Amino acid sequence: MNQFERLVRSRVIQTLRDTARAPVVSTIADSVGASAAEVACALHALADEHRLALTPGTDKLWMVHPFSAVETDFVVRIDGRSWFANCVWDGLSILALLGDGSIVTHSPATGEPLRFEVVDGSVRGDGIVHFLVPARSFWDDIGFT
């Protein structure tokens, strides 16, 4: 990852952290003083390096771990603010980064609502977090993982 790619990635993560919304290419370009083409090229390079994921066939952000750039079934809440995560693991990562809060989702098997809370760094809740795909295979199909 070169310096420009690092800057683009940093700006994207800061925007997701601060606003819970993914910036578009033109907004990123304005904020880093570059052209939209340069930013799009950097985003694709970052995607090739598995540092983020783009919506297939586009320049639009999809996943910037631990944040999701699109709505998902994993809602992280802290003090009245909320973000989308890609999975429970990413939701817990958002809480580890930003502070105690909760993850609201549902069981994929039954549809039953699930809520996990993190208080003083400890996870609480009724449910089991199961990782179907081994970590070494996450990027084989990051959208499924």
d(CA 27, CA 84): 20
pLDDT tens digits for range 5-21 = 999 999 999 999 999 99
For the chain, the domain total comes to 2
| Gap between the Cα atoms of 111 and 82, Å rounded | 21
**Whether 145 contacts 134, CB under 8 Å:** no
Residue at which a domain ends, from 64, 95, 111: 64
pLDDT tens for 39-57 read 999 999 999 999 999 999 9
Predicted TM-score (pTM) of this structure: 0.88
Is residue 84 situated within a structural domain? Answer: yes
Same domain membership, residue 82 and residue 41: no
The answer to whether residue 135 sits within a structural domain is no
The string of pLDDT tens digits covering residues 33-43 is 999 999 999 99
Q: Which of 64, 97, 112 is the last residue of a domain?
A: 64
The angle, 0 to 180 degrees and rounded to 10, between the axes of the packed helices 36-48 and 3-19 is 90
Q: Which of 26-30, 86-90, 105-109, 127-131 has the highest mean pLDDT?
A: 26-30
Please compute the mean of the pLDDT values over residues 120-137 and round it to a whole number: 83
Domain carrying residue 37: 3-64
Per the domain annotation, does 96 fall within a domain?
yes
The answer to the question of residue 145 being in a domain is no
Across the chain, mean pLDDT equals 93
